[in-house]
């Protein structure tokens, strides 16, 4: 297949940047057709470029019904600009009315980075949460927890492990016989992270969106698959409208009326189907056709956009009947900003990014030395123009420091036309980075008393 060289490895050091091919290969939906009432900077600029089931979240917002936001961080070093992108999006979702949960992946960083749980805890609070507060997350509407301390997350990971096997993990992550088992456990715990906010004790059944960098999509594919495998009722497209199928599994057979001998108890089955019909008619459909013999219920007048509501009604029913009732998570994906040296951003390579705690002099030095999209000489630059798509100074203003779209458009064109020189672009970036970092550092001082509140 033409696409086979496009890979995503959540633990790898390289990342494909051919975003349209990533969308195609992994079956993501493009953000292009999605209109938002109040898009953030990252939405307006196409940095958030793809999603899965984002419409469930938009619909919840439209109806004023609850939705949650979950994301996670590995406490493995200093917080840098790349990490702040997720927080920008979390903040946006919070402003849209979502309740926010953030996982500190201390188990993952212990297992994959060799950082002790204690050290992970310190890093999370001093490096990350201190900056979340400064960046404006609302501590009253945000909960930060540690994987190692939320039993139910690990329990869910374990329960879901039953629904997958090594071959599937091999297919998703490229594992082989030499793969360390920590890399098998980490995605299962992450599935627990992603799914647990919809448990009754953490806010109950509602759509949950996971804003992440595209490197995390394999975990979402796994999690969505695991959730779907636990579901007792599946909603799919039919020739006309939508169809509900019943999934008889080991742990629900008796509830569904299937006896150990395989014999079907017609009375129990009838009751199950009338409960399905009931749950769906509660949404206002009047043309429901129940067919217990085929194990299906059809709703000819339902359309693709009704899928979410029907799914949720059936998951609620599943919970009433004793199932887990897990809704596959929605997700949004952002692109990665280029590293300052032209390589990938990495906490372990300080020259590739700005840390949120960098002082102004350090930032200035890094920007001055950053990879430029300009030409080798001024004469050539005036004649041929520069490339803002490669220019770190321009890119960082676009991703992080400049709110004004028309100003960006102006300097983009000016750069391409050779009117703005590379040094001038860097100077503009330095000014904005200076203001941004100074402001953030002040905010950190002002909000330091809030850090504890995020953990409550
Ligand atoms: N694996 C993520 C990382 O490497 C951290 C993480 C843990 C996470 N649990 C999560 C991210 C749940 C999103 C959702 O950074």
Residue 74, ligand 1, Cβ within 6 A: yes
Cα distances (Å, whole numbers) of residue 88 to 235, 294, 305, 413: 34, 48, 28, 27
Cβ–Cβ < 8 Å for 434, 363: yes
pLDDT cut 70: percent of the chain above it: 99
* CA-CA-CA-CA torsion sign (358, 362, 364, 370): negative
The domain ranges of the chain are 14-230+328-334, 233-320, 350-455
pLDDT exceeds 70 at position 4: no
Protein residue with its CA nearest to atom 6 in ligand 1: 72
CA distance 388 to 171: 37
Q: How far is the CA of 156 from the centre of ligand 1 (A)?
A: 16
CA distance 74 to 120: 8
Helix 360-368 / helix 422-447 crossing angle, nearest 10 deg: 150
Give the helix/strand (H/E) hosting 172. Answer: helix 166-173
Whole-number pLDDT of residue 3: 46
Whole-number pLDDT of residue 381: 98
Question: What per-residue string of b and e applies to 392-404 under the rule 16 or more CB within 10 Å gives b?
Answer: bbbbbbbbbbbee
pLDDT exceeds 70 at position 86: yes
Indicate the length of the chain as a whole number.
456
Token pair 């064109």 is found at 413
pLDDT exceeds 70 at position 187: yes
Q: How far is the CA of 10 from the centre of ligand 1 (A)?
A: 9
Residue 193, ligand 1, Cβ within 6 A: yes
Residue-wise pLDDT tens digits, 316-375: 999 999 999 999 999 999 999 999 998 888 888 999 999 999 999 999 999 999 999 999
Give the helix/strand (H/E) hosting 21. Answer: helix 19-26
Residue-wise pLDDT tens digits, 11-32: 877 778 889 999 999 999 999 9
Token pair 């906010």 is found at 197
Residue-wise pLDDT tens digits, 426-435: 999 999 999 9
Token pair 């550092």 is found at 441
Q: How far is the CA of 105 from the centre of ligand 1 (A)?
A: 6
Question: Which of 84, 105, 107, 223 has most ligand 1 atoms within 8 Å of its beta carbon, as the pocket-test mutant?
Answer: 105
Q: How far is the CA of 190 from the centre of ligand 1 (A)?
A: 6
Question: Which of 52, 72, 194, 217 has most ligand 1 atoms within 8 Å of its beta carbon, as the pocket-test mutant?
Answer: 72
pLDDT exceeds 60 at position 307: yes
Residue 216, ligand 1, Cβ within 6 A: yes
Per-residue pLDDT, averaged over 95-104, amounts to 98
Q: Regarding the domain with residue range 14-230+328-334, which homologous superfamily does it belong to in the CATH classification?
A: HUPs (3.40.50.620)
Cα distances (Å, whole numbers) of residue 71 to 83, 136, 327: 11, 16, 16
Nearest to 28 by CA among 16, 45, 13, 44: 16
Residue 191, ligand 1, Cβ within 6 A: no
Whole-number pLDDT of residue 305: 87
Q: Regarding the domain with residue range 350-455, which homologous superfamily does it belong to in the CATH classification?
A: Tyrosyl-Transfer RNA Synthetase (1.10.240.10)
Q: How far is the CA of 246 from the centre of ligand 1 (A)?
A: 32
pLDDT exceeds 70 at position 202: yes
- Computed over every residue of the chain, the mean pLDDT equals 95
């Amino acid at each position: 297949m033409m696409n086979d060289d496009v890979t995503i490895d959540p633990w790898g050091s390289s990342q494909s940047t051919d975003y349209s091919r990533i969308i195609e290969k992994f079956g993501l939906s493009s953000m292009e057709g999605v209109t938002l009432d109040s898009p953030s900077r990252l939405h307006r600029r196409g940095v958030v470029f793809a999603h899965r089931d984002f419409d469930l979240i938009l619909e919840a917002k439209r109806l004023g019904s609850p939705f949650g936001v979950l994301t996670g961080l590995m406490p493995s070093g200093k917080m840098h600009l790349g990490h702040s992108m997720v927080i920008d999006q979390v903040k946006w979702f919070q402003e849209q009315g979502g309740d926010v949960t953030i996982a500190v992946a201390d188990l993952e960083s212990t297992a994959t980075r060799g950082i002790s749980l204690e050290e992970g805890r310190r890093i999370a609070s001093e490096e990350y949460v201190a900056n979340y507060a400064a960046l404006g997350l609302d501590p009253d509407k945000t909960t930060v927890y540690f994987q190692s301390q939320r039993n139910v997350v690990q329990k869910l990971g374990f329960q879901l492990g039953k629904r997958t096997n090594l071959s599937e993990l091999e297919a998703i992550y490229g594992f082989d016989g030499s793969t360390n088992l920590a890399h098998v456990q980490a995605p299962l715990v992450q599935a627990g992270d992603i799914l647990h906010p919809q448990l009754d004790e953490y806010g109950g059944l509602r759509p949950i969106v996971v804003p992440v960098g595209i490197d995390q999509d394999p975990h979402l594919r796994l999690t969505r698959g695991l959730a779907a495998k636990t579901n007792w009722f599946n909603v799919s497209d039919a020739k006309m409208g939508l169809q509900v199928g019943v999934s008889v599994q080991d742990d629900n057979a008796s509830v569904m009326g299937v006896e150990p001998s395989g014999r079907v108890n017609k009375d129990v089955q009838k009751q199950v189907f009338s409960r399905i019909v009931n749950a769906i008619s509660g949404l206002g459909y009047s043309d429901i056709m129940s067919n217990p013999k085929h194990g299906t219920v059809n709703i000819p007048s339902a359309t693709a956009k009704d899928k979410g509501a029907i799914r949720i009604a059936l998951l609620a029913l599943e919970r009433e009947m004793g199932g887990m009732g897990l809704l596959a998570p929605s997700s949004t994906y952002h692109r990665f900003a280029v590293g300052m040296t032209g390589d990938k951003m990495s906490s372990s390579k300080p020259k590739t990014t700005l840390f949120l705690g960098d002082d102004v002099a350090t930032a200035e030095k890094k920007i001055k030395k950053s990879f430029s999209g300009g030409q080798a000489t001024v004469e050539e630059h005036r004649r041929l123009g520069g490339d803002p798509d490669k220019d770190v100074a321009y890119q960082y203003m676009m991703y992080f420091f400049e709110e004004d779209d028309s100003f960006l458009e102006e300097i983009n064109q000016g750069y391409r036309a050779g009117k703005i020189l590379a040094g001038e672009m860097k100077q503009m970036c330095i000014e904005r980075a200076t203001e941004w970092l100074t402001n953030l550092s002040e905010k950190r001082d002002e909000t330091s008393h809030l850090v504890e509140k995020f953990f409550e």
